[in-house]
Amino acid sequence: MSVIYNRVALIGLGLIASSMFWAMKRRGLAGEVTGFARSAETRETARRIGLCDRVFDTAREAVEGADLVVLCVPVGVMGDVVAEIASALKPGATLTDVGSVKRDVIENVTPHLPENVHFIPGHPIAGTEHSGPESGFAELFDNRWLLLVPVEGSDPDAIARLRHLWEEIGSNVEEMEAEHHDLVLAVTSHAPHLIAYTMVGVADDLRRVTDSEVIKYSAAGFRDFTRIAASDPTMWRDVFLTNKDATLEILGRFTEELFALQRAIRTGDGEHLHDYFTRTRAIRRSIIEAGQDTDAPDFGRGKRSK
Ligand SMILES: NC(=O)C1=CN([C@@H]2O[C@H](COP(=O)(O)OP(=O)(O)OC[C@H]3O[C@@H](n4cnc5c(N)ncnc54)[C@H](O)[C@@H]3O)[C@@H](O)[C@H]2O)C=CC1
Ligand SMILES: O=C(O)C(=O)Cc1ccc(O)cc1
C-alpha cells in the first residue's frame, strides 16, 4: 500500500473510470478519489455503489485540488471537458486521459491547457463490451498494456509518476508516438470493431429471411462478433470519427484483400485460398509461441503438428 497521488479526480464514471477506481482502492494508490459524471442518474448510481470517495455535481468541483485528473469520457468530448475544467485545475497537476484515439484528443485538448499543468495522454488496451458505472472491476488492467503518449516537452518526473500508477494498477506500460498509436490501434482494434458491427448487421438482415436460424445456430466466430458489436455506440462513433484517416487506410487495404479472396472463391482458385490461410495461421501460432497472447486457451499445446 503506497499512495502515489493524494487526490485523483475521475471525469466520466463508466467502465474505465470505475475499473481504475477499484484497482486504485485495491492497492491504496490514491489518498482520495473524487468523481464527476454528466448525468444525475450515473452520479446517483456511483454514490449508491461507493464508486469514488466523493461524487460532485460539476466537473470543476471534482478537479479542484486534484493532483491527477483522468478524463474517462468519449474521445469526441475530451476537448469540451478540458475547456470547462481548465481554470479549476491545480497548478502542477497532471492531466491524463484514457481515450482510444490519441492524435485528435491531443489536438483538441492542447489549446485549452493552462501553462502549469502536465498533460500526458494515455490509453489502456483493456476493455469489455460493457459500459457504465456498474461495469468496472479491479482486475481489468491486470497484465494489459497501457500506452503513454507524452506530448513534446512533457515533464519526465510527471511521466514517471503516472507510469508508476499504471504499473501499480497492474498494467505493462510503454510509450508511443500519437500518429503511430492511431495507426496500430486502427489495425488491432478499430477496424476489427467495424467489421464486427458490419457482420452482425448483415446477419440481422438475413435473420428476417431465415427466421432466427442465424442466431440459433451461431458458431463461436459469430458469437465473438456479437460480443464486440454490443460495444457502446457513442464511444465507437467517436472513435471512427476521430481516427478517420488511419481507419480508412486500413479499411482500404482490408477491402482489397477481401476482393482478392472473393475473386479466388468465384474462380475456384483453391491455391490462393490455401496459401492465404496458411500465412494467417502461422501468424497466430507465432503470437502464441512468443507467449504474447495471455488470453489464448491452451489449444492442445505440445500435441500440435509442426
Ligand atoms: N470500453 C472500452 O473497452 C475502452 C474504452 N476506452 C476509452 O475510455 C473512454 C471511456 O470509455 P468507457 O469507460 O468504456 O465508457 P462508458 O460509456 O462506460 O463511460 C463514459 C462516461 O462518460 C460520460 N460522458 C459522456 N459525455 C460526457 C461529457 N460531455 N461530460 C462528462 N461526462 C460525459 C458518460 O455519461 C459515461 O458515464 C473512451 O474515451 C474510450 O475510448 C479505452 C479502452 C477500452
Ligand atoms: O472488448 C474488446 O474486445 C476490446 O477490444 C476492448 C477495447 C476496446 C477499446 C480500446 O480502446 C481498447 C480495448
Q: Based on the domain organization, do 106 and 238 belong to the same domain?
A: no
The domain boundary, picked from 176, 209, 229, lies at 176
Give yes or no for residue 16 having a pLDDT over 60.
yes
Say if residue 221's pLDDT is above 70: yes
Nearest ligand by distance to the CA of 238:
1
The more confident residue out of 51 and 285 is 51
Q: Residue 76: which residues within 8 A CB-CB, separation 6 or more?
A: 237, 238, 241, 242
Q: What residues are paired with 122 via a beta bridge?
A: 148
pLDDT of residue 223: 86
Q: Give the span between the Cα atoms of 166 and 169, in whole angstroms.
A: 5
Residue 214 lies in a domain: yes
118-119 and 122-124 strand pairing: unpaired
- The torsion of the CA quartet 29, 57, 234, 206, rounded to 10 degrees, works out to 100
68-94 average pLDDT score: 98
CATH number of the domain within which 85 lies = 3.40.50.720
Distance of CA 59 from the midpoint of ligand 1 (Å): 15
| In a shared domain, residues 94 and 211 | no
Same domain, 136 and 198: no
- pTM (two decimals): 0.93
Same domain assignment for residues 215 and 242: yes
123-173 residue pLDDT tens: 999 999 999 999 999 999 999 999 999 998 899 999 999 999 999 999 999
Whole-number average pLDDT of the chain: 92
Q: Which of 176, 205, 239 is the last residue of a domain?
A: 176
Domain identity same for 73 and 156: yes
Do residues 164 and 247 share a domain? no
Residues 93 and 110 in one domain: yes
Q: How many domains does the chain have?
A: 2
Nearest ligand (C-alpha, residue 59): 1
- Residue 86: pLDDT over 90: yes
**DSSP code of 108?**
H
Query: What is the whole-number distance in angstroms between the Cα of residue 58 and the centre of ligand 2?
Result: 28
Where would I find the H helices in 15-77? 15-27, 40-49, 59-63
Residue 116 belongs to domain spanning: 5-176
Q: Residue 258: inside a domain, yes or no?
A: yes
Report the C-alpha gap between 278 and 248 in whole angstroms.
Answer: 27
Mean of pLDDT values over 267-275: 98
Domain match, 187 and 136 both: no
pLDDT tens, position by position, 40-64: 999 999 999 999 999 999 999 999 9
Instruction: Mark whether 220 and 88 lie in a shared domain.
Output: no
Is the pLDDT reported for residue 302 higher than 50? no
**pLDDT tens-digit profile of 232-267?**
999 999 999 999 999 999 999 999 999 999 999 999
Residue nearest to atom 4 of ligand 1 (CA): 127
Q: Which band of pLDDT confidence, cut at 50, 70 and 90, is reported for residue 210?
A: low
Tell me whether residue 294 is in a domain.
no
* pLDDT value at residue 295: 58
Task: Supply the pLDDT for residue 301.
Answer: 36
For residue 298, being part of any structural domain is answered with: no
Residues in Cβ contact with 296 at an 8 Å cutoff, skipping those fewer than 6 apart: 287, 288
**Do 63 and 199 lie in a common domain?**
no
Residue where one domain finishes, among candidates 176, 192, 220: 176
Residue nearest to atom 5 of ligand 2 (CA): 189
Q: Which of 16, 20, 105, 125 to mutate to test the pocket of ligand 2 (most atoms within 8 A of CB)?
A: 125
> Is 119 contained in some domain?
yes
Residue 63 contacts residue 83 (beta carbons within 8 Å): no
Contact of 34 with 62, CB cutoff 8 Å: yes
Residue 272 Cα to ligand 1 midpoint, Å, equals 42
The CA distance from 85 to 103, in Å, is 21
Q: CA 36 to CA 5: how far, in whole Å? A: 18
Query: Is 292 part of a structural domain of the chain?
Result: no
Cβ-based burial of 99 (10 A; exposed 0-12, middle 13-18, buried ≥19): buried
What share of the chain has pLDDT > 90, as a percent? 83
| Distance of alpha carbon 61 from alpha carbon 46, whole angstroms | 16
Strand partners, 55: 35
- The 10s digit of each residue's pLDDT in 91-123 is 999 999 999 999 999 999 999 999 999 999 999
**Do residues 169 and 243 both lie within one domain?**
no
The rounded distance, in Å, linking the Cα atoms of 204 and 288 is 33
Q: What is the DSSP letter of 125?
A: S
| Residue 300 pLDDT greater than 60, yes or no | no
Q: Please report, for the domain that includes residue 224, its CATH number.
A: 1.10.3660.10
User: Bridge partners of 173?
Assistant: 146
Cβ of 100 closer than 6 Å to ligand 2, yes or no, is: yes
> Could you tell me if residue 286 is inside a domain?
no
pLDDT (average), residues 175-188: 97
Lookup: cell for 193: 470493431
Amino acid identity for residue 111 in this structure = P
Enter the C-alpha cell of residue 131.
459500459
Query: Quick one: 157 and 232 in the same domain?
Result: no
Tell me, yes or no, whether 279 lies in a domain: no
Residue 109 and residue 78: Cα distance in Å, rounded?
Answer: 7
Output the pLDDT for position 297: 44
Among the bound ligands, the one closest to the CA of 13: 1
